[in-house]
A and B are shown apart, each in its own frame.
Chain A
Amino acid sequence: DAGVTQSPTHLIKTRGQQVTLRCSPKSGHDTVSWYQQALGQGPQFIFQYYEEEERQRGNFPDRFSGHQFPNYSSELNVNALLLGDSALYLCASSLAVLAGGGTDTQYFGPGTRLTVL
């Protein structure tokens, strides 16, 4: 059973460019969340996708956008990159618990290390 996979592993971009990161959820999971982890910090919630719609969003600007496909995989897009966007971007998948309005335990991928020069 493949866990959560992310691509690419590493990425180097320059300021002002745009980047797309990809995530495939764990088999059987239908919800994908994206997190940004800066050096020395814990992961910070960017947004969550369920049924191809953004379900909840953290405190991130509109430069950060996403998409979920019918097969539950997801993309994170960041426009007009800033130096401060350099971080490890983590994708986590889970199974929606609709009755409670939340999700079951989230399982994380290995992350994509983005460096903005």
Chain B
Amino acid sequence: DQQVKQNSPSLSVQEGRISILNCDYTNSMFDYFLWYKKYPAEGPTFLISISSIKDKNEDGRFTVFLNKSAKHLSLHIVPSQPGDSAVYFCAATFGNDMRFGAGTRLTVKP
């Protein structure tokens, strides 16, 4: 059962513009959400997270928004840089249970 979904397998944006990656979940018990970035031949790297008691968390160019009523979260990258090109996974946790989406491949064009 896919409790975490990333419906866009790929996204292409121009350097300097905003990248918005989306993620939906179905299990209302999830209480912590994370975004990971993955380069080829490497494991996923933790990027940013948000607790279910918040609706926004910002870290430099990266901001995660959480809409609990819609069971939706998004990652905004502003401004996008070519080095941001990677596969981005969203993940949701409840206790020890962590579920991942299938990932979105972001390409930032110079």
Max count, chain A CB within 10 A of own CB: residue among B41, B94, B98, B102? B98
Closest to B98 in A: A45
Q: Is the interface of B mostly helix, strand, loop or mixed?
A: strand
Q: Are the CB atoms of A106 and B43 closer together than 8 Å?
A: no
Q: Are A106 and B102 in contact (CB under 8 A)?
A: no
Contact B102 A41 (CB under 8 A): yes
**Interface size range on B against A:** 20 to 34
Q: Does A24 contact B (CB under 8 A)?
A: no
Q: Please, which residues of chain B bring their CB within 8 A of the CB of A84? A: none
- State whether A108 and B36 are in contact (beta carbons under 8 Å apart), knowing that A40-B102, A90-B43 are contacts in the complex: yes
Q: Decide: A43 and B97 in contact? CB cutoff 8 A.
A: no
Residues of A near B42 (CB, < 8 A) are: 110
With beta carbons under 8 angstroms apart, the residue of B43, B94, B95 that contacts A108 is B43
Contact B95 A102 (CB under 8 A): yes
Interface string of B51-89 (1 = CB under 8 A from A): 000000000000000000000000000000000000001
Determine the residue in chain A with the shortest Cβ distance to B96.
A56
**Are B96's CB and A48's CB within 8 A?**
yes
Closest-by-CB residue of A relative to B32 is A102
The answer to whether B96 and A103 touch across the interface, beta carbons within 8 angstroms, is: yes
A91 to B9, CA, bound (A): 24
User: Within 8 Å CB of B41, what residues of A?
Assistant: 110
Residues on B with beta carbons closer than 8 Å to the beta carbon of A43 = 44, 89, 100
A63: Cβ under 8 A from any B Cβ: no
> Shortest Cβ distance from B91 into chain A, in angstroms?
8
B98 & A101 in contact (Cβ 8 Å cutoff): no
User: For the complex, what is the distance from the CA of A103 to the CA of B97, rounded to whole Å?
Assistant: 10
Determine the distance from Cα of A61 to Cα of B6 in the docked complex, in whole angstroms: 26
- The 4 lowest CB-CB distance pairs between A and B, nearest first, are A42-B100, A108-B43, A56-B96, A108-B44
B residues bordering A, Cβ < 8 Å?
4, 6, 32, 34, 36, 41-46, 49, 89, 91, 93-103
Q: List 12 additional contacts besides A43-B89, A105-B46, A110-B43; criterion CB under 8 Å.
A: A41-B103, A42-B91, A43-B44, A43-B100, A45-B99, A56-B95, A56-B96, A56-B97, A92-B43, A101-B95, A102-B93, A110-B42
